[in-house]
């Protein structure tokens, strides 16, 4: 029996099973879920270790694979999208502003004053001093911040009153705001009336087991709210989910609702990085998401510039059908 080949096969099987077990464990074990925040780097490290294990005698091949593994950790792979025509176009952005700890308010003001989107979903909105309204007057409609947290800036008229949601178990803090907007194209006198429901979300950071449970509970509340929308309602959800793309909790939300991620790339760009340590922006996790429901097609998804937060803005162009 060739023991070397047996060890090779066994080692590879253990690696695959280990990664699978990590995903399953993330449903019930907070630590496993936290590891998934850095899944790209776990995978890149696994590739390097696997190649090292299998090719340690082939130095030139090992060097090439190490370089490949390192590049995968920092270079996003973008998904292709088809061109879409015929519907009302809306640009939606989400940004965690880091409240009054924002390190570059002039950059944040310049970004907002440039009107980067028709609708901006805000988390951790500044509430001391001039507050959100004192930073920019580029948008005629400013809602919130609610519970010193979620807010919304838009150029569209609001229909009815915003609906504010909490997790119903751990805290009464309103971390979800549901707003219906009239997004009719007023430049076209023959345009039909178009409406869009948006959800601004800021889930709890899972820095303790209790907060992890609070985050997961809020995602369940969001799931229930989206599923209760009337048939035919166009929905866009965005915010800081404090949950990476690869978490089973995000997958559960996508499986149990008609929502889908606006960014379906194989290796999404990090949106939360370690600004406080001076680390590069690519080293972080994708926790800020935009999701769309039926009747809403994604044309373009991109990550925006540094605006003084430890989160980067996410901007998405959608078309309503």
234: domain CATH number is 3.60.10.10
Q: Which of 11, 40, 74 is the last residue of a domain?
A: 74
Joined together, the tokens standing for residue 246 give 């690869």
Domains of the chain: total = 2
Shared domain for 151 and 256, answered yes or no, is yes
Is residue 80 included in any domain, yes or no? no
Is residue 79 included in any domain, yes or no? no
Shared domain for 229 and 300, answered yes or no, is yes
Is residue 59 included in any domain, yes or no? yes
Is residue 47 included in any domain, yes or no? yes
Is residue 82 included in any domain, yes or no? no
Tens digits of pLDDT across the chain (321 residues)? 444 555 555 656 666 676 677 777 787 888 878 877 777 777 777 777 666 666 665 555 555 555 555 454 444 444 444 444 568 999 999 999 998 888 899 999 999 999 999 999 999 998 766 678 888 999 999 999 998 899 999 999 999 999 999 999 999 999 999 999 999 988 888 888 999 999 999 999 999 999 999 999 999 999 999 999 999 999 999 999 999 998 999 999 999 999 999 998 878 889 998 776 666 667 788 999 999 999 999 999 999 999 999 999 999 999 998
Shared domain for 41 and 110, answered yes or no, is no
Q: Which of 28, 44, 74 is the last residue of a domain?
A: 74
- The pLDDT of residue 1 is 47
Closest among 227, 289, 287, 288 to 258, alpha carbons compared:
227
Shared domain for 160 and 291, answered yes or no, is yes
Is residue 238 included in any domain, yes or no? yes
Shared domain for 61 and 147, answered yes or no, is no
161, HSE (Cβ side, Cα atoms, 13 Å): 3
Shared domain for 16 and 130, answered yes or no, is no
Q: Do residues 313 and 281 lie in contact, with contact meaning Cβ atoms separated by under 8 Å? A: no
Shared domain for 99 and 12, answered yes or no, is no
- The pLDDT of residue 64 is 58
Shared domain for 125 and 253, answered yes or no, is yes
Q: Do residues 201 and 237 lie in contact, with contact meaning Cβ atoms separated by under 8 Å? A: yes
Which range marks the domain in which residue 32 is found? 3-74
Q: Which of 18, 41, 74 is the last residue of a domain?
A: 74
Shared domain for 136 and 285, answered yes or no, is yes
Shared domain for 44 and 181, answered yes or no, is no
| Other C-beta atoms lying within 10 Å of the C-beta of residue 109 | 17
- The pLDDT of residue 78 is 41
CA 235/CA 274 separation, integer angstroms: 31
Is residue 81 included in any domain, yes or no? no
Q: Do residues 153 and 120 lie in contact, with contact meaning Cβ atoms separated by under 8 Å? A: yes
Is residue 65 included in any domain, yes or no? yes
Shared domain for 31 and 108, answered yes or no, is no
Q: Do residues 167 and 214 lie in contact, with contact meaning Cβ atoms separated by under 8 Å? A: yes
Shared domain for 135 and 65, answered yes or no, is no
Q: Do residues 131 and 248 lie in contact, with contact meaning Cβ atoms separated by under 8 Å? A: no
- The pLDDT of residue 158 is 97
- The pLDDT of residue 72 is 47
């Amino acid at each position: 029996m060739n023991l070397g080949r047996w060890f090779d096969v066994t080692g590879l099987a253990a690696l695959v099973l280990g990664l699978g077990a990590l995903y399953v464990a993330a449903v019930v074990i907070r630590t496993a879920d936290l590891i998934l925040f850095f899944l790209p780097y776990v995978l890149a490290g696994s590739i390097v270790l696997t190649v090292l294990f299998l090719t340690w005698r082939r130095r030139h091949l090992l060097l090439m694979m190490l370089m490949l593994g390192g590049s995968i950790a920092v270079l996003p792979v973008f998904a292709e999208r088809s061109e879409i025509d015929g519907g009302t176009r809306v640009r939606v952005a989400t940004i965690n502003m880091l409240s009054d700890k924002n390190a570059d308010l002039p950059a944040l003001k310049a970004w907002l004053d440039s009107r980067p989107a028709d609708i901006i979903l805000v988390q951790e909105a500044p509430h001391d001093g001039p507050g959100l309204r004192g930073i920019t007057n580029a948008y005629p409609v400013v809602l919130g911040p609610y519970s010193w947290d979620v807010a919304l800036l838009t150029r569209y008229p609001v229909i009815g009153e915003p609906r504010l949601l909490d997790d119903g178990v751990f805290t009464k803090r309103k971390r979800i705001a549901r707003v219906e907007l009239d997004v009719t194209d007023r430049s076209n006198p023959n345009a039909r009336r178009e409406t869009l429901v948006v959800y601004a979300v800021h889930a709890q950071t899972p820095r303790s087991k209790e907060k992890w449970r609070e985050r997961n509970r809020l995602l369940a509340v969001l799931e229930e709210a989206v599923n209760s929308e009337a048939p035919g309602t166009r929905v866009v959800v965005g915010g800081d989910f404090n949950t990476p793309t690869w978490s089973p909790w995000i997958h559960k939300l996508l499986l149990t609702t008609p929502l889908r991620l606006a960014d379906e790339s194989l290796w999404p760009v990090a949106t939360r990085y370690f600004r406080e340590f001076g680390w590069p922006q690519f080293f972080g996790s994708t926790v800020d998401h935009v999701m769309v429901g039926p009747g809403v097609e994604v044309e373009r998804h991109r990550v925006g510039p540094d605006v003084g937060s430890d989160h980067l803005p996410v901007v998405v162009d959608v078309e309503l059908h």
